[in-house]
Amino acid sequence: MKNMLLAFVLLFALTTQALLGAADASPEQVVDTSGKKLRVGLSYFIVPASPLIGCTRYGRCVKSGGLSLASIGESCPLDVVFVAGSSGLPLSFSPVDPKKGVVRVSTDLNIMFSTDHTSCAEYSPVWKLDHFDVAKGQWFVTTGGSVGNPSWGTIRNWFKIEKVDAAYKIVYCPTVLPSSKHLCKDVGVFVDENGHRRLALSDVPFKVKFQLA
């Protein structure tokens, strides 16, 4: 009888430990520059992790900045660009399950500028992966996406935040439709012939931090 009781206690302990381990398996929560958790519904500036982005061979250096919108090529929709010398425009995040209230790494989410006042009122400020630019050989990040409703029609609207070193990076690697395979790559900065620093898929990630607006 004692042996049976002991076996039951051990089984209960192992089961409880397994369940607690599963509960603790949630992805890590993203934090801002103050060490506070990113919250759904709040606005943040996405700023470079390093105050100095880089220098050209002529000694011209790009210092800290943020993300903004610009009309490149076509007047609309507006594309996502990096601008030096300012924090840019604030943004917010909407995870695939926004009811949780927090933003976690490795989780599908929509990213949107916290403004409705742009020169392209007919397009939303929600990030979206544009069609492949054959001329430049790039996948650029633009706007005009929609929030929620995971489907084939919205697959290019989903991004993720991942930890890298002591900072974060944004990636395009949607898993909202787990039964299918999609492009999976970091979001970096591409400098075009006119000097626009455009967000685009890249082998070199744009390392960022999140600053409460």
Domain ranges of the chain: 27-212
- Residues of the chain falling short of pLDDT 50: 1-23
**pLDDT value of position 52:** 59
In angstroms, the Cα distances linking 206 to 10, 94, 100, 132, 203 are: 49, 21, 27, 20, 10
CA distance 198 to 130: 12
Radius of gyration of the chain (CA): 21
Query: Looking at residue 6, what DSSP letter applies?
Result: H
Q: What values do phi and psi take at 171, rounded to 5?
A: -130, 155
Per-residue pLDDT reduced to its tens digit, 111-169: 999 987 788 989 999 999 999 999 999 999 999 999 999 999 999 999 999 999 999 99
Q: Which among 46, 45, 50 is positioned nearest to 64, based on CA atoms?
A: 50
CB 47 within 8 A of CB 66: yes
**pLDDT value of position 60:** 62
The answer for residues whose C-beta is within 8 angstroms of residue 111's C-beta and 6 or more apart is 91, 92, 93, 126, 127, 159, 170
CATH 3.40.50.620 fits 27-212, yes or no: no
CA distance 114 to 94: 12
10 Å Cβ neighbour count for 117? 6
